Amino acid sequence: MAEPASLRDRLGRPPGVLRLSLTARCNLACPYCCPDSQEPPELLSLTERLQLVAAAVDLGFGTLRLTGGEPLLNRDLEALIGGLQALRDPSSRPRGPLQDIALTTNGALLGAERARALKAAGLDRITISLDGTDGESVARMAGLLAGPSAGEALLAKVLAAVEHARAAGFDPAAGQLKLNAVIARGRNDDQLLPLAALARRLGVELRLIEFMDVGNRNGWNLEQVVPAAEMLQRIGAVWPLQPVGRASAATANRWRYRDGGLEAASGGGQLAVVASISAPFCGDCNRLRITADGVAYTCLFASSGFDLKPWLRPGGRPGADRAGLDAALRGLWRERQDRYSEERGPEAGSAEPSTPAAAHAEMAYLGG
């Protein structure tokens, strides 16, 4: 029997968003993410991922975000999305249906045919990452050793991907197509205004993300963090902003351009900031992350996870132990008490955590 609607973690937070990584590999080498060159062993199969998402939906996870690494590298992506459509039927889901399937991608592999295939399979939303607007900045933020020329080529692919997604039916005005940008001081903070101008021209919402201390390889330090308030001040000085607010359990605080944006009707009138360093939002976090090899993490900043493969492969054989899987996920959520971003120091974003933390799992492995 499905868990009643009262399922909560130890801080009273209900389940909401399942972030499922399909690969730890990437075709880029962004320095804030530092992807692995090889997959972890024992990747989940398509069938196992379908079983896992079904169990999560029955416990109250109504939103699924497919991540990586780069999820477009996964050859079963469209089959996975198509196979999940059965979970949208509310009559068969006592805790509610799967309401939303989203994808985060760097866009380099998102051609017109792939965008149409994803839409046809049942994908609802796409977020495309872009951290600069010229060849030099794009190359630097994507880890392209070939330099500005390679950056220009990647930029052209990403801009084309935005148009391919739009043409396939992903509507920016409905929040179905957005841009992500991680901003790090001294690396690409000079791109704040150009990125805002580009998003306004393209008619898509831009989501600015503070550089986070996830993993152990990205060289994070507090001096590289551009606080959300500063980003908003710099952009608002050119294009005045008015607050929209942060929806319950959302990661982003949203703003609206007072002039409507150049393409307001298409979504370009919106700006969002994700401030996990300077303004943590742990209090209503409803996300569970599952890696490509089936390990569940209850926080982006966690140092260890919980392996779900014993219930997906009971006795070492494929075939989910559904009762055991349900119980494992339910117990994991009930014991969850993570709020690392709020605890990292007495002042949000402090360089000195109040409690020493173990090494974090890497972002590309966790799926961001």
Query: What CATH number should be reported for the domain holding residue 163?
Result: 3.20.20.70
Please give the torsion angle defined by the CA atoms of residues 110, 115, 118 and 123, in that order, rounded to the nearest 10 degrees.
100
225 backbone dihedrals φ, ψ, rounded to 5° = -80, 125
Profile the chain (368 residues) by mean pLDDT over runs of 10 residues: 70 97 94 85 95 96 96 97 96 87 98 98 98 98 95 98 98 96 97 97 96 87 95 97 93 93 67 95 96 96 94 90 96 96 62 52 86
Q: Are residues 316 and 358 in the same domain?
A: yes
Whether residue 308 is contained in a domain is answered as yes
Q: What is the pLDDT of residue 354?
A: 39
In the chain, what's the furthest Cα-to-Cα distance? Answer: 61
| Alpha-carbon span 265 to 337, nearest angstrom | 41
Three-state SS letters, 12-65: CCCCCEEEEECCCCCCCCCCCCCCCCCCCCCCCCHHHHHHHHHHHHHCCCCEEE
Q: What is the pLDDT of residue 215?
A: 82
Q: Are residues 269 and 290 in the same domain?
A: no
Q: Are residues 265 and 166 in the same domain?
A: yes
Whether residue 280 is contained in a domain is answered as no
Last residue of a domain, one of 220, 254, 274: 274
Whether residue 222 is contained in a domain is answered as no
| Alpha-carbon span 364 to 37, nearest angstrom | 10
Domains in the chain, number: 2
Q: Are residues 63 and 181 in the same domain?
A: no
Whether residue 93 is contained in a domain is answered as yes
Q: Are residues 99 and 177 in the same domain?
A: no
Q: Are residues 264 and 144 in the same domain?
A: yes
Q: What is the pLDDT of residue 364?
A: 87
Tokens linked to 363: 């972002």
Last residue of a domain, one of 274, 294, 310: 274
Tokens linked to 110: 């998102």
The alpha carbon of 114 is separated from its chain's Cα centroid by a whole number of angstroms, namely: 20
Q: Are residues 172 and 298 in the same domain?
A: no
Whether residue 115 is contained in a domain is answered as no
| Alpha-carbon span 279 to 261, nearest angstrom | 26
The burial class, CB within 10 Å (0-12 / 13-18 / 19+), for 46 is middle
Whether residue 113 is contained in a domain is answered as no
| Alpha-carbon span 235 to 16, nearest angstrom | 32
Parallel, antiparallel, or unpaired for β 253-257 and 241-245? antiparallel
Q: Are residues 142 and 270 in the same domain?
A: yes
Whether residue 354 is contained in a domain is answered as yes
169 torsion bin: left (phi>0), alpha (psi -120 to 50), beta (else)? left
One-letter amino acid for residue 238 of the chain: V
| Alpha-carbon span 39 to 294, nearest angstrom | 12
Containing structural domain, residue 163: 129-210+228-274
Nearest to 21 by CA among 330, 295, 360, 327: 295
| Alpha-carbon span 50 to 44, nearest angstrom | 10
Whether residue 37 is contained in a domain is answered as yes
3-class secondary-structure state, position 74: coil
Q: Are residues 266 and 348 in the same domain?
A: no
One-letter amino acid for residue 140 of the chain: R
Q: Are residues 133 and 262 in the same domain?
A: yes
Last residue of a domain, one of 249, 274, 299: 274
Q: Are residues 175 and 91 in the same domain?
A: no
Supply the pTM of this predicted model.
Answer: 0.93
Q: Are residues 87 and 23 in the same domain?
A: yes
Helices of type H across the chain: 46-58, 77-83, 112-121, 135-142, 148-168, 192-202, 228-236, 309-312, 322-335, 340-343, 363-366
